[in-house]
Chains A and B, each alone.
Chain A
């Protein structure tokens, strides 16, 4: 019998194995950050040998470039926040479109969502980079579209599609009894949605939404491929300015990893906290 490995014939009585670990418990731990910091510090000091008198010590070089790199990192954060903002606004509208009573709106929203959700982020970024003009003429005004702005649009496309699915999924995950109870009390559909369904969805949407934000933040370095002066681009420039010294690679790139870690780790912890907090209550 299938259940013979249990000591009872009633496996249903056994306490179920609960997946206590969220996905972040598997990925990020404080020691990961310490490891990155350790690599950064060690590689920038130990790898330097005394006979190498022509070059400055790597740690000194890193310190010299640090202000510029931090500036670049802040730019990454600006891109991530902006893309998240745009993507969330448009994605929420798209998600509501997916549950519209109008068939055409529903199907169009579904198609747009699936199209952008299943496209590689880098392709969407190139798409935005090279298909958008460098300036838009509206009436007599010329609005320039710098690369970083195009990168924000490009990255907000996959965010939009993912937010759309988060919204649709959260709405679908509520028990149908909530709709029925609200319907039976003569609420209009708009009222049901905004007063009863969506307020309950916010809780459910927050953890996946923050998860998405972490992913987006890490994806902002893709913008370096299309030439936006974010942290990866600047690191590359700094390294070539130092004549491509190979002993600098490790300190510089582990420093960048460390920067992303200290930004994303608290978000990840907070997401885990929220997931646990909202897990039991319905």
Chain B
């Protein structure tokens, strides 16, 4: 079980996932090293989100293995809470807790889950608010914030648990074009700070800029993957080419 940093932080092997009779993931494998940023792109319904939802056990899997820091996720005796302390996640629909202020949203999990000291948590939360550039919005309720602001609170909320790896599930897909950038900047800074990130995204320019590795999925399999430069400029597979020609 000993995991060391030269091994992949997240290692997905031959992942299979079905919803009823519908098989959405048909054998996906990928590795993410510590500090690496990978982007999963592909058409809607290709199973991108399902892959990362399996990583923190929000979805179960039928077959295959996911190791997070050496811990097997596909295990009936898995301690989901311990896994999720290491894996942060940000959603397309922000999913902030509407009855709590921005600061309370950020502080809740460290206080209740990690049982940390309140003064320390508040200090960390205020640092995070600053990091996502939301000073002055600490005491606003989610309903009073714009989509982009809510999404940045959601990122801060996830970071407050000091996760080792962050999952981003189409986090800009529900945002106005003008506010997309503020969220992308936040994620980019996070990546530059060395956070391990797995992103599902439709922002190709952004993927090209921040990703160390790009995976293209279609119909439940990884069709092609590579470094951004090779992937975007020198795609081999016809399906990748077609997809890229439509969106670039």
Could you tell me which A residues sit within 8 Å of B by CB distance?
175, 177-178, 180-188, 191, 195-196, 199-200, 281-282
Contact = CB atoms under 8 A, between A and B. Distances in A.
B91 A185 contact: no
A274 to B, nearest CB: 16
Given A178-B97, A195-B112, A183 B161 contact: no
B62 to A, nearest CB: 20
Nearest to A176: B95
A177 B98 contact: no
Contacts of A196: 97
14 contacts: A177-B95, A178-B97, A180-B91, A181-B91, A181-B97, A181-B154, A183-B80, A183-B84, A185-B84, A185-B113, A186-B82, A186-B85, A188-B81, A191-B113
A168 to B, nearest CB: 20
Contacts of A183: 58, 80, 84
User: Which of the listed residues A175, A178, A186, A196 has the most CB atoms from chain B within 10 Å of its own CB?
Assistant: A186
Given A178-B95, A195-B108, A184 B143 contact: no
B58 A187 contact: no
A195 B100 CA distance: 10
A187 B95 contact: no
A191 B80 CA distance: 14
Nearest to B161: A185
A14 to B, nearest CB: 24
B88 interface: yes
Contacts of B56: 184
A34 to B, nearest CB: 40
Interface in B91-120: 91, 93, 95-99, 108-109, 112-113
Nearest to B79: A186
B89 interface: yes
Contacts, number: 61
B67 to A, nearest CB: 19
B158 interface: yes
B157 interface: yes
Given A181-B154, A186-B84, 19 more contacts: A175-B93, A175-B95, A178-B97, A180-B58, A181-B95, A183-B58, A184-B56, A184-B58, A184-B84, A185-B84, A186-B80, A186-B81, A186-B161, A187-B113, A191-B112, A196-B97, A200-B98, A200-B99, A281-B143
A280 to B, nearest CB: 9
B118 to A, nearest CB: 15
A154 to B, nearest CB: 36
Interface string B57-90: 0100000000000000000000011101101110
Contact of B98 (A186, A187, A188, A281): A281
Contacts of B85: 186
Contacts of A177: 91, 93, 95
A180 B80 CA distance: 13
A281 B96 CA distance: 13
